[in-house]
């Protein structure tokens, strides 16, 4: 987020497209990354070229996003949201958080199970396209959701904080395998969370 927008890179996934099988299928991952994510990136780069936005850090762009065109909000959001999404998943999930993050979840939500319930609810009830988030807001964990490609770091976002875990609930993220059954996709997501990376995000956000 400290990189200048004009220097943003479109990166490969940190694992193979089939790494999250059977929970998230390879075809979905490949289309999601090479078509959807790539399109957000390309459109963002085209929109910022030659403007004052190009020299802002991504962080400053998000903090001032309400001043800029909606197309930038949508495409820069899509670019950044997916960067986070890929990195908080793995084919070798530990299944549960540990360390300081586990303690903070228990303290805030009562138990890991209650945390899951609340997160599932945020993801299932987000109408239309959007994201469910676990954020650190003023040092405290919160669950929330946003429409479209909004990110909690944007000044115009419905929820605020530093996102440490995000779930894409756009139909393109699950329709090939789960069709209209978003709750089944949400349930499957718990099998592929990279808790080590989420805990790193938590530690950075609470520093």
DSSP string, 38-94: HHHHHHHHHHHTTSGGGGSBHHHHHHTGGGS-HHHHHHHHHHHHHHHHHHTB-SS--
Applying CB under 5 A, the span of 54-62, 104-112, 113-121, 171-179 interacting with Mn ion comes to: 171-179
Shorter beta-carbon distance to Mn ion: residue 168 or 199: 168
Shortest distance, CB of residue 142 to Mn ion, whole angstroms? Answer: 22
What lies within 8 Å, CB to CB, of 51 at 6+ separation is: none
Shortest distance, CB of residue 36 to Mn ion, whole angstroms? Answer: 5
Shortest distance, CB of residue 195 to Mn ion, whole angstroms? Answer: 21
Determine, following the binding rule CB under 5 A, whether residue 150 of this chain makes contact with Mn ion. Answer: no
Q: How many residues bind Mn ion (CB under 5 A)?
A: 3
Shortest distance, CB of residue 82 to Mn ion, whole angstroms? Answer: 6
Applying CB under 5 A, the span of 46-54, 131-139, 148-156, 169-177 interacting with Mn ion comes to: 169-177
Determine, following the binding rule CB under 5 A, whether residue 199 of this chain makes contact with Mn ion. Answer: no
What is the number of the residue whose Cβ is closest to Mn ion?
Answer: 168
Q: For residue 163, is it left (φ>0), alpha (ψ between -120 and 50) or beta?
A: beta
Cα 71 to Cα 23, 115, 139, 173: the distances in Å are: 32, 34, 31, 21
Of 168, 200, 16, 170, which Cα lies nearest the Cα of 91?
16
Determine, following the binding rule CB under 5 A, whether residue 168 of this chain makes contact with Mn ion. Answer: yes
Shortest distance, CB of residue 52 to Mn ion, whole angstroms? Answer: 28
Shorter beta-carbon distance to Mn ion: residue 33 or 104: 33
Of 19, 22, 13, which Cα lies nearest the Cα of 177?
22
Measure the CA–CA gap between 148 and 169, rounded to whole angstroms: 9
Shorter beta-carbon distance to Mn ion: residue 100 or 172: 172
In the DSSP assignment, the letter for residue 7 is: G
The footprint of Mn ion on residues 115-134 (CB under 5 A) is none
Shorter beta-carbon distance to Mn ion: residue 40 or 115: 40
Distance of CA 188 to the CA centre of its chain: 16
Shortest distance, CB of residue 170 to Mn ion, whole angstroms? Answer: 5
Q: Give me the residues that bind Mn ion (CB under 5 A), please.
A: 168, 170, 173
């Amino acid at each position: 987020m400290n990189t200048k927008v004009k220097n943003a890179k479109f990166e490969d996934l940190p694992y193979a497209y089939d790494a999250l099988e059977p929970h998230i299928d390879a075809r979905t991952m490949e289309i999601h990354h090479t078509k959807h994510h790539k399109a957000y990136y390309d459109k963002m780069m085209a929109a910022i070229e030659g403007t004052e936005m190009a020299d802002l850090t991504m962080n400053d762009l998000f903090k001032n996003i309400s001043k800029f065109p909606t197309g930038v909000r949508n495409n820069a959001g899509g670019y950044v949201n997916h960067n986070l999404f890929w990195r908080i998943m793995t084919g070798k999930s530990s299944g549960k958080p540990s360390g300081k993050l586990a303690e903070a979840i228990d303290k805030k939500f009562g138990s890991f199970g209650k945390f899951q319930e609340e997160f599932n609810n945020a993801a299932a009830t987000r109408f239309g396209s959007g994201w469910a988030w676990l954020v650190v807001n003023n040092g405290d964990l919160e669950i929330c959701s946003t429409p479209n490609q909004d990110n909690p770091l944007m000044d115009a976002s419905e929820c605020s904080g530093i996102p440490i875990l995000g779930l894409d609930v756009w139909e393109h993220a699950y329709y090939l395998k789960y069709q209209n059954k978003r709750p089944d996709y949400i349930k499957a997501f718990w099998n592929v969370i990279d808790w080590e990376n989420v805990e790193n995000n938590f530690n950075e956000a609470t520093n």
